[in-house]
Amino acid sequence: MTAELFFKWMQHFVSFVRPTPEKKAILILDRHVSHKNLEALQLAEEKSVILFSLPAHCTHRLQPLDVAFFGAQHKYYNRVMTEWMKINPGRPVTIYQIIQLFSTAYVKAATLTIALSGFRATGIAPFNRHIFLEHMFLPSLNTDVPCDENQLEASVPAPQSPI
């Protein structure tokens, strides 16, 4: 993804979603550098698109697709694939079967119920700031340890002599 491509994608998004000041759209993004495009940000503001940028390394908890859809889609794909292999023992799966198998699983997972459960489980809608328990943040404490200057100097290798 590039900044220019993201801007074109944002234009496409706005043309199909057609948000208004009364009926805004929310777009959930990761923090990829391509999303920091001034034209795209201005377009989003002008066209009533709320950009919701997820903190780094949190999509496994905050991204509704990661939380609800992808897991369900993976489960359905495994079921469909297992059933196909039972019906077709010893036959290799080709790109032609994968398309059919994947689309079958996708249709089962792409439901309104699963989409809504992703937003609910992440605390986005309905908004719930207490959706995560304190212990869920413990792994991030490893990155919250301040570094003093002596540690930084010790971690940087000394320049090598050209001889």
Same-domain status, 49 and 78:
no
Same-domain status, 43 and 62:
no
Would you say residue 145 lies in a domain? no
pLDDT average, residue stretch 5-20: 96
pLDDT average, residue stretch 107-131: 93
- pLDDT at 107 exceeding the cut of 90: yes
CA-closest candidate to residue 55, choices 142, 140, 146? 140
Residue pLDDT, tens place only, 35-85: 888 999 999 999 999 998 887 777 788 889 899 999 999 999 999 999 999
- pLDDT at 21 exceeding the cut of 90: yes
Which pLDDT does position 159 carry in this prediction? 54
Confidence band, pLDDT 50/70/90 cuts, at residue 153: low
Would you say residue 149 lies in a domain? no
Please spell the DSSP secondary structure of the chain, one letter per residue. --HHHHHHHHHHHHHHH---SSS-EEEEE---GGG--HHHHHHHHHTTEEEEEPPTT-HHHH-HIIIIIHHHHHHHHHHHHHHHHHHSTTPPP-HHHHHHHHHHHHHHH--HHHHHHHHHHTTTTTT-TTSS-GGGGGGGGGGG----HHHHHHHSPPPPP--
Which pLDDT does position 25 carry in this prediction? 95
Would you say residue 2 lies in a domain? yes
Query: Residue 160 half-sphere exposure, CB side, CA atoms within 13 Å?
Result: 2
15 token code pair: 């043309």
Would you say residue 143 lies in a domain? no
Same-domain status, 39 and 75:
no
CA–CA separation, 103 vs 94, rounded Å? 14
Would you say residue 158 lies in a domain? no
Same-domain status, 33 and 9:
yes
Same-domain status, 69 and 117:
yes
Confidence band, pLDDT 50/70/90 cuts, at residue 30: confident
Domain boundary residue among 53, 74, 92? 53
Question: Looking at this protein, which amino acid is placed at residue 137?
Answer: F
CA–CA separation, 140 vs 144, rounded Å? 7
Would you say residue 39 lies in a domain? yes
Would you say residue 160 lies in a domain? no
Q: Which domain holds residue 6?
A: 1-53
Which pLDDT does position 123 carry in this prediction? 92
Confidence band, pLDDT 50/70/90 cuts, at residue 135: confident
39 token code pair: 């034209």
Same-domain status, 96 and 112:
yes
Check if the beta carbon of residue 76 is closer than 8 Å to that of residue 102: no
Which pLDDT does position 44 carry in this prediction? 96
Would you say residue 81 lies in a domain? yes
Q: Which residue has the higher pLDDT, 75 or 147?
A: 75
Q: Which residue has the higher pLDDT, 140 or 100?
A: 100
Domain count, the chain: 2
pLDDT average, residue stretch 21-35: 90
Confidence band, pLDDT 50/70/90 cuts, at residue 32: confident
